[in-house]
Amino acid sequence: MTDSWQAHLLTLFPDMFPGPLGVSLAGRALQKGIWSLDAKNLRDFASDKHRSVDDAPAGGGPGMVMRADIVAAGIDDARARLHDAPVIYLTPRGAPLTQARVHELANGAGAILLCGRFEGVDERVIEARDIEEISIGDYVLAGGEIAAMVLLEAIVRLLPGVMGSAQSGLDESFEGGLLEYPLYTRPQDFEGRAIPDVLTSGDHGKVSAWRRAEAEIATRLRRPDLWAAYKARGTREE
């Protein structure tokens, strides 16, 4: 029994972990035991002497497909150690990752993350093990490991005790449905560009109003999709 948030990785490249998650915020949190990482090699679940995990796609075509039986054995092994946690396959075919889903995952006990390689994973194991599919964006990576790291970094920074100040998460992009307002710090003059006067006025009410207005402008101009959702939410709440 552990209080750590548990990340169980199923991958052909366990040596890639913790990788960048071993430094900075996530690395310190890993050392402190706020979260734990267990990366298993899917080849350990293969039974032939070549430890093969893939085979040619049914119906023909390029590349190879990860076998359902081997992936299922890896998932069953991870589930025996981590019950009641979602199994997530990182795939471009998945639902786009959102900050809302990151919060839900951070509030749970952990996750079992399946990293694909080759052309992907046999569909039958996705159905049979009730696997959630998540995409980190509309582009194709060579494997799911870096996508899993993206998801893990987003989760770990939300775990209690990881971020320096509890406040630092609240105003951030996506938290209230808006992008963040623009940021400034010293020097006061940078190549003829000054910090907006309101930010040095000492008037907290004006600073808040300015930040809200700037967050709304940035969201409207840069992310019409988020802006529409934000406006719709406001209308429903009125």
CA atoms within 13 Å, Cβ hemisphere of 86: 14
Binding mask 113-132 for ligand SAM (x = CB under 6 A): --xxx-xx------------
Q: What is the Cα–Cα distance from 224 to 152, expressed in whole angstroms?
A: 27
The beta-carbon contacts of 163-166 under 8 Å, at least 24 apart in sequence, are 163/25
CB 151, min distance to ligand SAM, A: 9
Q: Are 228 and 219 in contact (CB under 8 A)?
A: no
Q: Enumerate residues 142-201 that contact ligand SAM by CB under 6 A.
A: 142-144, 147
- Closer to ligand SAM by Cβ: residue 74 or 120: 120
CB 88, min distance to ligand SAM, A: 10
- Closer to ligand SAM by Cβ: residue 93 or 206: 93
Tell me how long the chain is: 238
- Closer to ligand SAM by Cβ: residue 85 or 122: 122
- Closer to ligand SAM by Cβ: residue 65 or 73: 65
Residues 174, 85, 96, 93, Cα dihedral to 10°: 170
What distance, in Å, lies between the first and last C-alpha atoms of the chain? 45
Q: Which of 18, 92, 169, 176 is the binder for ligand SAM (CB under 6 A)?
A: 92
> What is the total count of residues that contact ligand SAM (CB under 6 A)?
19
Q: Which of 25, 72, 109, 141 is the binder for ligand SAM (CB under 6 A)?
A: 141
Of the ranges 111-119, 160-168, 189-197, 221-229, which one interacts with ligand SAM (CB under 6 A)? 111-119
Phi, psi of 81 (to 5 degrees): -100, -25
Question: CA nearest 6: which of 43, 34, 48, 46?
Answer: 34
| Ranges of H-type helices in the chain | 24-32, 68-81, 99-106, 123-128, 145-156, 204-222, 224-237
CB 65, min distance to ligand SAM, A: 9
- Closer to ligand SAM by Cβ: residue 156 or 178: 156
67 binds ligand SAM (CB under 6 A): no
Q: What is the Cα–Cα distance from 183 to 105, expressed in whole angstroms?
A: 29
The residues of the shown chain that bind ligand SAM, judged by CB under 6 A, are 90-93, 115-117, 119-120, 135-137, 139-144, 147
